[in-house]
Amino acid sequence: MNGPHLIDNPAELRPGVQRRRSPGGVPGAGGLPDGGSTLRGVSVIIRVAHSSDAAAVGGIAFETGFFGGSAARYFPAPELFSVLWAGPYFAGAGAGLWVAEDEQGVAGYVVGSPDPAGYRRALRQVALHRAWRVTPVAAVPAVARYLVRAARMPGPHASEARFPAHLHLNLLPRLRGQRVGDALLDAHLSTLRSLGVPGVQLSTTSENRAALRLYRRHGFEVAARRLLGLWTPWLGHPAEHVVMVRGLP
């Protein structure tokens, strides 16, 4: 089999990567409910994310948050990282939230929001009401150092009028190289189209060659590049931040 086989009809079930459209999903997530049957006997399932997946998604974000490796190197507060990076999408701002699950559990995800203002509101809410509860005192200096650097060296962005949606996609190492990212991205873009979203943008770096190849395969183009020193203390050199965009006809 060449790559994942995505199905909507359980009668087509065969081993590999499968997509399951599950009834419901995260409130406000814009999933694709159709009452589909649970698919079993497969190595990986792509399904709509639920609120119960928030911790797993946040954990994966942390474990992949430094160029595919752990964010502990610059952000030694995993619960806070999870709250800030994943929390807003599960607090009403998300759309097209999907996870990849194997026999060991959730090991990949795609999240995003088509509403920039709504996302910023949700981020403020989780930061104000939850961040202080999960921040270890010992981690405050390191976390503050990163946040100050990020505020002083913002990355580029594309027009929110043309590309209002944004997305994030990450996989644990055990799912990489199996076209699971393609399956997640297909599901996410399908959701955005069903919502009438005109375009989507994302941020990555030129260091992440696998991500660049993935997004180009799905029609994304580079809209902006900016060399930033944000990561120099941990990476050892500046990194080129890349914004990619895709229209959704």
| Mean local confidence (pLDDT), 217-236 | 97
Q: Where are the domains of the chain?
A: 10-197
Closest CA to 241 of 228, 229, 232: 228
Placement of tokens 């229209």 in the chain: 247
Whether 145 and 92 have beta carbons less than 8 Å apart is answered as no
Which has the higher per-residue pLDDT, 97 or 8? 97
At residue 17, the pLDDT reads: 55
* Pairing of the two strands 221-228 and 239-247: antiparallel
Closest CA to 188 of 208, 168, 171: 168
State the pLDDT confidence band at 249, using cuts at 50, 70 and 90: confident
Q: Which fold has domain 10-197?
A: Aminopeptidase (3.40.630)
| Mean local confidence (pLDDT), 75-82 | 97
> Rounded distance, CA 157 to CA 60, Å?
24
Placement of tokens 């800030």 in the chain: 84
Placement of tokens 């992949």 in the chain: 64
Residue-wise pLDDT for 197-213, tens only, equals 999 999 999 999 999 99
Instruction: Give me the percent of the chain exceeding a pLDDT of 90.
Output: 81
Q: What is the mean pLDDT of the chain?
A: 87
Residue-wise pLDDT for 35-46, tens only, equals 222 334 458 999
> Rounded distance, CA 25 to CA 215, Å?
25
Residue-wise pLDDT for 108-163, tens only, equals 999 999 999 999 999 999 999 998 899 999 999 999 999 999 999 999 999 999 99
> Rounded distance, CA 100 to CA 172, Å?
10
At residue 101, the pLDDT reads: 97
At residue 20, the pLDDT reads: 54
